[in-house]
Structure 1
Amino acid sequence: MSTEDTLASVELFRDIEKNDLETLAKIVVERDFKQGDVIVKEGEPGLAMYIISRGKAEVVKGAGGSEQVIATLGAGDFFGEMALFDDSPRFASVRAVEDTDCLVMSKWDLKTAFVATDGRVAMALLAVLARRVRSLSDAATH
């Protein structure tokens, strides 16, 4: 599957035009992680967003004996998007449960893509973030 096809399969980019997908495909870097590798570490600066193209990873909060798995991610899922908007440290660690391939977009390259696509990519990301916040708000009130 091409990088553009992988991007198009992700919720975040499903409604993005082909020329915008081409712009994004030029900025991604493919990274491979082995089972057990820590992809991002809780507390470290968030410098990029990751899209899983193959494999599985778990989102882990805490360290050592107090570690808690809070989510499992698979192909098409993405994480690290909050790093694009602020300089807060990573909220949790993400670890490869099996050999995992990711498409990585640095916050600087993605901000450039926001401009190059006249804000269409930024609006798509904001729509997904709004749905996530709404879902968390609904869960907290029920």
Structure 2
Amino acid sequence: MNPDKDIIIEILKNLTLFQELNYNAVKELTYLFSDRIFQSGETIFEENDTGNSLLVIISGEVRISQRADVSGEETLTVLKKGDFFGEMALLDDLPRSATAIAQSDTFMLEISREKFLHFVEKDTASGVRILLTLARNLSARLREADNKIKAFVNLSQWL
């Protein structure tokens, strides 16, 4: 189930997060990731858990959800091969904002905040590229959340 390093390098190189990096930087990153395997239905982390790592899906699917007052739990998205999540934990010390559960047997790579920050210090140019990509990704999610809030406010005015 564990792909060899060349396959991992190719997968990481094709991720939005690492597309702007050269081959050597991506190769260096592969040594900082740890393998993680989860069975279908297994919880990867829960909302409000302490988080300190980013995960990349190599195979399988992961459901991301949040607690909701009325429905109990709301699915935000289902992530697949090549998607990454948990990136906010690389940037802050706050609890996880959602729950992640493996929807199928899932093989992932995980990098801790400590290892990521060490990489950024060692290869500043690559680190800045990754951080800019993270910022763009988080900005897009924030805009999407803003649009949902606007739609909800507009809908609630008609009720």
1:16 is matched with 21
Aligned partner of 1:71: which letter? Answer: T
- Correspondence for 1:76 among 82, 85, 88: 82
Q: Which runs of 5+ in 1 are unaligned?
A: none
In 1: Cα distance, 2:61 partner to 2:130 partner: 24
Equivalent pairs: percent with the same residue?
A: 28
Pairs within 5 Å for 1:33-44: 33-44=38-49
Contact 2:54 2:89 in 1 (8 A): yes
Question: Unpaired runs of 5+ in structure 2?
Answer: 151-159
Rounded to whole Å, the distance in 1 between the matches of 2:141 and 2:84 is: 17
* TM-score between the two structures when normalised by the length of structure 2: 0.81
Query: 1:4-38: CA deviations, max 9, x gaps?
Result: 11211211011211110111011000111100011
Given that residues 20 and 121 in structure 1 are in contact (C-alpha distance below 8 angstroms), is that contact kept between their aligned partners in structure 2? no
Count how many residue pairs are aligned between Structure 1 and Structure 2: 142
Matches within 5 A, 1:2-13: 2-13=7-18
Larger RCO, structure (CA 8 Å, separation 6 or more): 1
* Distance (whole Å) between structure 2 residues aligned to residue 76 and residue 51 of structure 1: 7
Structure 1 residue 119: Cα displacement: 3.7
Q: Secondary structure at the match of 2:119?
A: helix
